[in-house]
Chains A and B, each alone.
Chain A
Amino acid sequence: MYFQIVLDEFENEYLPPIDKELTLKLCEMHEQVGWPGLLGSLDCSHWVWSRCPKSLHGEYQKGTQEHPTVVYECACDADLRIWHCNFALPGACNDINVLDASPLLDSIGLGDTLLKFRVEGNVYQQPYLLVSA
C-alpha cells in the first residue's frame, strides 16, 4: 500500500523520534529567532471519526462534543515542520491524558533531550516546549 511505502521509506528521515541530534538542531534554530533552549510548540487537535463503532462512543465522545473524535498531539518548530506526532487516543481524553501517553514526554523524562543552554547569564539544562490553555 502507498501508506506503508511512505512510512517505511521516509519515516526515519522526516518524522524521527527525538534524540540528542534533533534537540541540538531545534535549539540552534530557535536561538536564531530569540528563544534559546526552545524545542517547539505543543498542542492537541481532534479529528472527527464518523464511523466510530457504537460500543466505543462512550470512550471517544465527550459530553460537550457532537461527534466521536480521535485526538492527536503534534509539536512543531518555528519553520512549521512537525517533528512529533502522536495519534490514536480517544477523544474524551483531555490534554493531560494525551501527555501522559506521549512518547515525547517519555523521552524528555528519560533525559534524552538534556542540553545546556544559556539565557541572560544563567545556565539551564532542560529544553522546554510552549503550551497553551
Chain B
Amino acid sequence: MNCEIEFCGAFVCAHVHFTIFPTQVDGIYPNWSCFMGPISKPVSAREKHYTVMQAARRKDIERAFGALKIKFNILNVPSLTPDVTLMNRILRVCTILHNMVRFHAC
C-alpha cells in the first residue's frame, strides 16, 4: 500500500536540523498529532499529491452532512423549539436512524 502520509523524519532547512516535520493544518484547527489538515502551500509533487488525496477523503464528512440533511429535512430548516436539549435529542435520533440506513442498506 503506497500512502503519502509519511511525515516523520529528519530534514535540514537553512542549516537547522529539524526532527519533526511540521504537519500543517490549514485554517483554525489546532496543530495536534491527532489531526491531519491539508498543506496550505504544497511545493513538491509528494505534498501536492497528499493535499489532493486528503481533500478527496475529507469530502466524506461533507457528503455525510448532505446525506443527513437531505434525509431529515428538520435539520435543514430553522428549529422551532425553544428547548435546546430537545434539539440535541432530535439530532442524535436522526444520526442513529441515518446509521441504521447505512448499516442495513448494503
Cα–Cα distance between A76 and B38 once the two chains are bound (Å): 18
Q: How far is the CB of A36 from chain B (nearest CB, A)?
A: 7
Please tell me which one of the listed residues B64, B81, B93, B103 contacts residue A74 in the complex, with CB atoms under 8 A apart. Answer: B64
B62 to A: closest C-beta gap in Å: 7
Q: Given the known inter-chain contacts A48-B78, A52-B82, A126-B33, please indicate yes or no for A7 contacting B3, CB distance below 8 A.
A: no
When the two chains form their complex, are residues B28 and A95 in contact, meaning their CB atoms are under 8 A apart? yes
Q: How many residues of A contact B (CB 8 A)?
A: 62
Chain A, residues 21-52, CB within 8 Å of chain B (1/0): the string is 00000000001011110101111010111111
Interface size on B, residues (CB 8 A): 56
Q: Which residues of B contact A36 (CB under 8 A)?
A: 1, 3
Give chain B's interface residues, CB within 8 Å of chain A.
1-3, 5-6, 8, 25-30, 33-38, 53-54, 57-65, 67-68, 75, 77-82, 84-93, 95-100, 102-103
Residue contacts A-B, CB under 8 angstroms, 7 given: A35-B5, A47-B79, A81-B102, A83-B99, A129-B36, A130-B57, A132-B58
11 A-B pairs besides A15-B99, A38-B57, A96-B28 with CB distance below 8 A are A14-B99, A42-B61, A45-B65, A49-B79, A80-B67, A82-B98, A85-B91, A99-B29, A131-B25, A132-B58, A133-B29
